Structure 1
Amino acid sequence: MKKLSLILICILLFSCQKKENSTINNKENVTNRIDSITITREEKEQENKQIGDTIFMNFENKENLFIAESALDSINSKVYIKFKAEDSGELKAEIVAATGKGNIRFNQIILPDKTSDGPFGMDLKIPLKQKGNYILIIGHSLMAENPYYGKFKVQLNLKK
């Protein structure tokens, strides 16, 4: 009986030591994972990403341009670009299609007071007289044949 209790105590001690080591390793792994996830999130937050059919232009690059990539397909025939103008100024926008030229354009701009203007071409230059949230709608020209399907880039430059 004494031998059995001695063996059980030894097994118990060895098993407790393994748990402590594995707990320390698990804590280090979790900490490393949280750090890597935080860095990844911070990097991804610095990009203008498309969510559904809308691109939120929140981050400028070093040349003070808002740049984002998107695509038009048969399901999403329009893409909405949302951006905020803090001051009045001028907007210069450009669509760069992956295949060069295509049947793609700025269909409309919706101003903060909910009025709109358009259609435009692949380039847009317009004064921004109001402060607030603007929406650009990109899509096919309904007056032309062969709708554009594929990837493109959008560049916005807000000048004060």
Structure 2
Amino acid sequence: MKIFLMLLISIFFFSCHQKEKENAADAAPYPIVKKKKKEENKQIGDTIHMNFRNKKGSFTGEGSLDSIHSRVYIKFKNEDLGALQARIVPTTGQGNIRFNQIIFPDNSSDGPFGMDLKIPLKQKGDYILVIGHSLMADNPYWGKFKVELENKKE
């Protein structure tokens, strides 16, 4: 009985050891290729974090306004003093959508603006742009849009 049990245990360990060698041999000749994740500035919740610049050095992001997210916050970090040129491009071409407010790093704010924004950036730090529909006009905009931000250095 002891001999049978010892034989059974040794066969079990030997078979487990063989599977490990086979898995290691199978993985060796095939290299693992990781796909590069495309860098995009997309809306998460009600915020678009502008972390990735395009080839021109400006920020471009995609977002949408709906009944749940009636305002979208664009957050970006400014490292250089200069002038900010921003533009909202609705997918439908036109719509009741605008830059409602800009919040500066010192928590002061300015606004409202239109679909285009040109403003000097006199502070370094984190800025927030608030996008929504104009409360002075009818028919709020619901749908997708693109935001383009460009910081022209002085």
State the SS of the aligned residue for 2:22.
helix
Moved over 3 A (4+): 7-16, 25-28
In structure 2, the partner of 1:58 is 51
**Equivalent in 124, 127, 140 of residue 134 of structure 1:** 127
Task: Supply the RMSD in Å over aligned alpha carbons.
Answer: 2.7
Q: Is 2:43–2:64's contact at 8 Å kept on the other side of the alignment?
A: no
State the SS of the aligned residue for 2:17.
helix
In structure 2, the partner of 1:120 is 113
In structure 2, the partner of 1:21 is 22
Structure 1 residue 27: deviation in Å?
6.0
Q: How many residue pairs get matched?
A: 150
State the SS of the aligned residue for 1:102.
coil
Q: Could you tell me which amino acid in structure 2 is paired with residue 17 of structure 1? A: Q
> Equivalents in 2 of 1:137, 1:25: separation in Å?
56
Q: Is 2:101–2:111's contact at 8 Å kept on the other side of the alignment?
A: yes
> Equivalents in 2 of 1:132, 1:119: separation in Å?
21
- Please list the CA deviations of residues 86-106 of structure 1 after superposition, one character each: whole Å capped at 9, or x if unmatched: 121000000000000000000
Structure 1 residue 58: deviation in Å?
1.5
In structure 2, the partner of 1:73 is 66
**Equivalent in 92, 102, 110 of residue 109 of structure 1:** 102
Q: Identity percentage over the alignment?
A: 63
Query: Unaligned 5+ residue runs, structure 2?
Result: none
TM (norm. structure 1) is 0.81
In structure 2, the partner of 1:97 is 90
Structure 1 residue 52: deviation in Å?
1.6
> Equivalents in 1 of 2:63, 2:98: separation in Å?
13
> Equivalents in 1 of 2:139, 2:75: separation in Å?
27
State the SS of the aligned residue for 1:49.
strand
Higher helix share: 1
TM (norm. structure 2) is 0.84
Aligned in 2, Cα 1:72/1:130: closer, same or farther, shift over 3 Å?
Answer: same
- Please list the CA deviations of residues 18-58 of structure 1 after superposition, one character each: whole Å capped at 9, or x if unmatched: 34213x16866xx83xx52xx44xx24x3223222111112
